[in-house]
Chain A
Amino acid sequence: MKYLILTCLITANAFAGLKFSFERSTPSGSDRFEIENKSSEVIIHKTSNWFDKKEDLRLGDFKSQNPSSLKSVQAELEQIEEQLKKANDKLTAYGTTFNDLNSKSSLHSPYFKVNDFKVQKGSTLYPKLEQIFTKLQQTPLTLVNGVELDSTKKNYIFYENSKETGREPFNVRFFCEQPRFPTRCMARKWGTLYLE
């Protein structure tokens, strides 16, 4: 019991007050993989499979099957956030902010977000954040609330509290931008799937 409580506390403290995400914004929509501490629990939000390194057709709110592994990145992210805050403070003396200086010619390229700070490729922090993100992506996840496109790609399966609550036929013409692959498909309120 004591061990269980300690594990919960460790999990709860990881990412306390910190939000970290990899995202991109395009006219077609936003793609986001985000981790945050919500009501003392670490939740991973995935609104797109754009960033996936291997096929995973699930979207929604996940929790990690190995929460203690998240603790190792927490300290790194806190340090990075501190560095960003100090840099931002320095720049405000010149009437600008860290985010204001971001490139406007790569508006639709992916970027990292550490709380409110947006870090684009070209930043000295980008490689470090990439490493952290790769570590996070390796964490096996359990879908808590969301949707999964089944392996036959014929049905959307909806989940709540990790239990199936319903299904809907996956009509490519209805949900997708084009009737042929590769294309971009919407998954109700849960986000976007890029299908080959």
Chain B
Amino acid sequence: MKTLILFVILTFASSAMAQINIGQIFGGGNSNLKIDWSCQQQNYPEIKQLRNSANVKIEAKLKNGELEISFKPNIFQVQPISLEFVTGVISNQKEIGVDYSDCIEQFEKSYKQAISTYKNQNCASSANNVFCQRTSEDLLDGFKRQIRSEKYFVENLDRVNLPRLLPNQKTGSSPKEIQDNLNNFCSQKSFSKINLYSSETLQLILNNSTDVRIGVSQDCMKRIQSELEKDSNALIGLVCEKQISLCNKIKEANIQGQQILAKSLENSVAATEKEDERWAKILMIPQDDKGGSNDLKERLNKDPFQCSQLGSSLKTETGYYPMSALPSSLAENMQKLSEVADGECLRTVIQNYALGLAYVGFDREEFQKYCQENSSKLCKEMEERKKLSDKNLRDLFALTYGDLGKRFVTECDDCLDSPAKSLQQLINKVKEAKEAVTCIDLKVGEAKVVSSFDGAPAGLSGNYSLKKRADGGFDVKVGMNVVSDGAFGVSADEMLQRVQKCISEVTPYMKGANGNILNLQVLSGKELSQIPASERPRLNNISIQGPNTRSNSGSYEANVDCPTITHEVLHLLGLCDEYDGTGDGYTCRAAPKVASIMSSQNAAFEKAVPKTFNCECKVGSTCRKIMEGQDEAHKNFYMMANIYSTTDYKFRNQYCNDKELPQTTWSAIAQNPYTVYEKTSSENDITIVTQNSGDIYPAIERSEFKCKCATGDNKCQTQLNEFKAQVAATIKTTTPYCPSGSNWTQPQIGNKLNSESPYKWTGSSVQFVTKPEWPSLIHANHFERIAGGACASKASKYNECAKWAYRGKENTNNCSGKPLYCEDDQEFLGVSAK
């Protein structure tokens, strides 16, 4: 009753005040603001409610210096009294109201905007106006105060607030507002519950639930269900004891909302299964990888094991899949892989595994997004597969560190949180352990295996064994498996025999600085199996280039010579390339000036390896006519090395030009019987004349060629000086050469003639042996590196320089860190030759 009387007095007071024109009292201009009140609501006849909408005039006045705001009409007066309301008041039940917080929030926003507009438009000239006199903060404060003081909003602990709209009612909000609100809820930002439970939102969820790509995630749907259930239950608990019809209304609205959400969830589950299927195809996920594991096991068990077998997809019961799509297959066979694969093979497997992971795309952005929003069966499965794939990759890296790595793989099952970090710890351990073990000097008769398991110390692989000899040298064994498809009529066996023959002939010329022998042997897989395990290195797989990419003339590849074979075999012992790497992007490589088996193998062979030549002279040829004649001087001239065989053809090509001179005869040059002589020479050029017996006896063919360096071209200048030295040496040399017009095959390695004469005429061919200048084919530090095995501190300067052999300026900050001594041949190679 008291409440009713008070209500009536307030209503009268408000009406009275509405008659007074504030503007007239203060003499100001137009001091009204008009804003809209819009508050669509549920129809609750049992309780007090505010009106749905009104155009409200807001007035401001000062009373005893205090700002007072009023609303006309006063929208915060409750609706006209209803019978249900009266019944409710009289029956003294718990007070029930409606939650208007979102409508008031919107009303407040409109008010703020109106104030701002008013001030901009009116306050420059109308200073008497309260709106202009007071600050925006004061006016807002007054506004809020007035609302709080309204009876409807007076705090009452006994009051239950119903939502102004129950679930599944239209709010009238725009589609954008609905969507934004839903997105905010799903991403746990602030949202409006009225909008969330609205029919617009529920319909939107339902409509999109059949398409996972645009629909709300199941997680979010379940959260909405849970929130709705919670809110509804709370209300039901507060209201249902006494307010039966209101209670039923709330229950019914909740049921409607929950039904729509349940249907949406059902649709989404079905859509997710379909989407899972689609993704499984894209990511190439087989249902299981059991078959894959068996297939991989077979390949690993093949004897001999061939790493190339691991490159193709694995067979499962449902088709072929890359290894990276079958992580269990690899995990189950990791132990076997560690037994059969060497470091080289493992590195190829790692590369291919990483490529496979990139292709399969566990971490594809689109798939990641799908899984963030839908915790589907496939997503959970993929999470497990990804973890296993990461573990596989880490284990593969670990295995490249040999035995210590194998232990790591079996013992460190829980090092999954930071695979890379735990691997780094392993690497540090390995480095410490390796130095301690691998640098111990061998005793006479003792052997050790140098492995390719970490490419240490120079970043190059090396698979060989070392055994200390009584004479201070080493027996070195290298295993080789030649893979060939019979290209150009050269079978794998034939190629292996060629390699073995070459190395056995060349090895006597491989010595250390103090003459210690490096007794190098190349063994087949079968031969390797017959030596004790402690001395048995792993097999190196070498393939002969097939015809796929070559022209139909393949004799160049099939006729690979001994200098090239030696160069390649020395790579297997850990030696790096030493020729200029600029053309290949290896701009940090140290390229020594001295000839070396690792930079210019033919030049090194010339210097260090005696060769026996057999030059056949056909009947009637110039060669025969001269060699069968009596003129010894002419024969000597004919057998002389010429400038073309003693100088670098690449230098000639780049810096020289030649022109033919008129032919002459032997008698005309007999007083100057040299195949080359210098015509003119200055600091940066030289002109020479060459003289050689021609194809047609007794003509002497002549040509003049000039070599010139541009000013400032230091590289050319160095080579030009070398060229001049070669010219001088050619004039003085007594080393013969196969004369032009004779036929000759590859020379034999070594002195097969046992003759002291410069050459021997057999009646149909000329034979001679070249004399080496160098004491060894390999330089001193080459020997030290091979003998040192994987020990970083032995041949340390060679190792430091070799690290740069396959690196470029672009990604090493201009070869930052490369020691200066690498440019000094003595420091880098321990050059023994002059």
Contact = CB atoms under 8 A, between A and B. Distances in A.
Interface of A: 22-23, 25, 27, 29-30, 49-55, 82-88, 90-91, 93-95, 98, 101-110, 121-125, 130, 133, 169, 171, 173-177, 179-180, 182, 184-189, 194, 196
Nearest to B544: A109
30 contacts: A27-B598, A27-B600, A51-B550, A52-B551, A53-B550, A55-B553, A83-B359, A91-B350, A93-B420, A94-B397, A95-B420, A95-B424, A95-B427, A98-B354, A104-B344, A105-B572, A110-B545, A124-B311, A171-B658, A173-B644, A174-B644, A174-B653, A174-B703, A182-B555, A182-B559, A186-B649, A186-B652, A187-B653, A194-B556, A196-B553
Contacts of B660: 169
- List 9 tightest A-B contacts by C-beta distance, closest first: A86-B358, A186-B653, A87-B354, A173-B644, A25-B584, A87-B358, A30-B583, A101-B347, A87-B355
B514 interface: no
B594 interface: no
B190 to A, nearest CB: 37
Contact of A175 (B307, B356, B460, B652): B652
Contact of A98 (B308, B351, B581): B351
B201 interface: no
Contact of B357 (A22, A90, A109, A110): A90
Contacts of A98: 351, 354
Contacts of A173: 642, 644
A188 B653 contact: yes
A182 B551 contact: no
B348 interface: yes
Nearest to A92: B420
Contacts of A110: 545, 549
Interface in B537-584: 540-543, 545, 548-553, 555-556, 559, 567-568, 571-572, 577, 579, 581, 583-584
Nearest to B354: A87
A87 B549 CA distance: 27
Given A103-B344, A109-B543, A196-B556, A179 B356 contact: no
A122 B348 contact: yes
A29 B602 CA distance: 13
Interface in B244-281: none
B423 A94 contact: yes
A179 B643 CA distance: 12
A121 B545 CA distance: 10
B574 to A, nearest CB: 9
B548 A130 contact: yes
Nearest to A121: B543
B122 interface: no
A196 to B, nearest CB: 5
A104 B460 contact: yes
Contact of B461 (A95, A104, A108): A104
Nearest to B348: A122
Contacts of A108: 568
Contact of B644 (A29, A133, A179, A188): A179
B351 A87 contact: yes
Given A87-B351, A196-B553, 14 more contacts: A54-B552, A85-B358, A88-B354, A94-B394, A94-B397, A94-B423, A98-B351, A101-B348, A103-B461, A104-B459, A123-B311, A123-B348, A177-B602, A186-B650
A172 to B, nearest CB: 9
B194 interface: no
B751 interface: no
B740 interface: yes
Contacts of A123: 311, 348, 351-352, 355
B552 A174 contact: no
Contact of A84 (B312, B355, B549): B355
B455 interface: yes
B420 A101 contact: no
Nearest to B744: A180
A49 B427 CA distance: 44
Contacts of A124: 311-312, 322, 352, 355-356
B652 A174 contact: yes
B350 A30 contact: no
Interface in B404-428: 419-420, 423-424, 427
A23 B581 CA distance: 14
Contacts of A51: 549-550
Contacts of A187: 653
Contacts of B636: none
Contacts of B703: 171, 174
Nearest to A108: B568
A114 to B, nearest CB: 12
Given A27-B599, A87-B358, A101 B350 contact: yes
A144 B755 CA distance: 56
Residue of B347, B354, B567, B577 with highest tally of chain A CB at under 10 A: B354
B37 interface: no
Contacts of A182: 553, 555-556, 559
Contacts of A130: 548-549
A90 B393 contact: yes
B601 interface: yes
Given A91-B350, A107-B577, A171-B658, A125 B355 contact: yes
A107 B355 contact: no
Contact of B658 (A53, A94, A174, A184): A174
B584 A27 contact: no
B44 interface: no
Residue of A50, A105, A108, A110 with highest tally of chain B CB at under 10 A: A105
A104 B355 contact: no
Contacts of B642: 173
Contacts of A102: 347, 351
A176 to B, nearest CB: 6
A116 B541 CA distance: 26
Contacts of B572: 105
B705 interface: yes
Contacts of B420: 93-95
Contact of A54 (B460, B545, B551, B658): B551
A95 B740 CA distance: 56
Nearest to A185: B649
A91 B396 CA distance: 12
Nearest to A88: B354
Contact of B455 (A104, A185, A189): A104
Contacts of A104: 344, 455, 459-461, 571, 806
B431 to A, nearest CB: 13
Contacts of A54: 551-552
A180 B615 CA distance: 13
A1 B312 CA distance: 49
Contacts of B705: 174
Residue of B357, B397, B551, B568 with highest tally of chain A CB at under 10 A: B551
A118 to B, nearest CB: 9
A25 B600 CA distance: 13
Contacts of A175: 649, 652-653
A13 to B, nearest CB: 25
Contact of A122 (B307, B424, B567, B652): B307
Contacts of B650: 29, 186
Contacts of A49: 551
Nearest to A177: B649
Contact of A90 (B354, B552, B644, B656): B354
